[in-house]
């Protein structure tokens, strides 16, 4: 099957749990949500983004929102899919991770998951990349 493109943006408050879930479910989940975002581009990051192609078996478990711009340019949510937090919970606990279904549902409740290109999704949410004075190593 062909991998599916997703842009996943999460508030910083739930990012550590989402990172642990992703890494538990697949080695491909290691290193997700490491790029910080904020409304001003200044630290600290208020959100983190992960974008790219993911296997379909993971894509179906993630909630997804669908957005369109109206005649004024405002973003309007036109639909969504709930994902499958129960499947994520079962897979995580089977892999030995300690997590509750409620914790996973809390991540899903604040996740922004779309097929939008990253800068489109960031713009819709009023977020930009966090700039740092730290040298790249």
Q: Judge if the upstream peptide bond of residue 44 is cis by omega within 30 degrees of 0.
A: yes
Average pLDDT on 90-104 reads: 98
**Does residue 135 form part of some domain?**
no
Cα separation, 49 vs 37, whole angstroms: 7
Average pLDDT on 63-67 reads: 97
State yes or no: pLDDT of 134 exceeds 70.
no
Q: Count of domains in the chain?
A: 1
Residue 99, domain extent: 4-129
Q: What is the pTM of this model?
A: 0.92
**Does residue 137 form part of some domain?**
no
Q: At 1, is the pLDDT very low, low, confident or very high (cuts 50, 70, 90)?
A: confident
**Does residue 136 form part of some domain?**
no
Question: DSSP E strands: which ranges in 12-104?
Answer: 35-38, 47-54, 64-69, 75-81
User: Any idea which of 8-17, 74-83, 93-102, 128-137 has the lowest mean pLDDT?
Assistant: 128-137
Maximum CA pair distance of the chain? Answer: 49
Cα separation, 134 vs 97, whole angstroms: 33
**Does residue 19 form part of some domain?**
yes
State yes or no: pLDDT of 137 exceeds 60.
no
Cα separation, 33 vs 74, whole angstroms: 27
Average pLDDT on 14-37 reads: 95
**Does residue 8 form part of some domain?**
yes
**Does residue 50 form part of some domain?**
yes
Q: Report in angstroms the alpha-carbon separations of 106 from 30, 43, 70, 110, 127.
A: 21, 24, 29, 7, 21
**Does residue 73 form part of some domain?**
yes
């Amino acid at each position: 099957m062909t991998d599916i493109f997703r842009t996943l943006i999460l508030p910083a408050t739930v990012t550590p749990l989402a990172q642990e879930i992703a890494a538990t479910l697949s080695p491909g989940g290691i290193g997700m949500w490491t790029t910080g975002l904020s409304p001003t581009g200044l630290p600290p990051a208020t959100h983190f983004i992960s974008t790219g192609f993911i296997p379909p078996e993971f894509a179906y478990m993630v909630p997804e929102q669908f957005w369109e711009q109206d005649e004024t340019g405002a973003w309007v949510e036109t639909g969504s899919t709930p994902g499958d937090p129960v499947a994520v919970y079962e897979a995580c606990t089977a892999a030995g991770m300690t997590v509750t279904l409620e914790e996973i549902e809390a991540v899903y409740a604040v996740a922004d998951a779309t097929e939008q290109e990253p800068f489109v999704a960031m713009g819709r949410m009023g977020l930009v990349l966090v700039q740092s004075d730290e040298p790249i190593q």
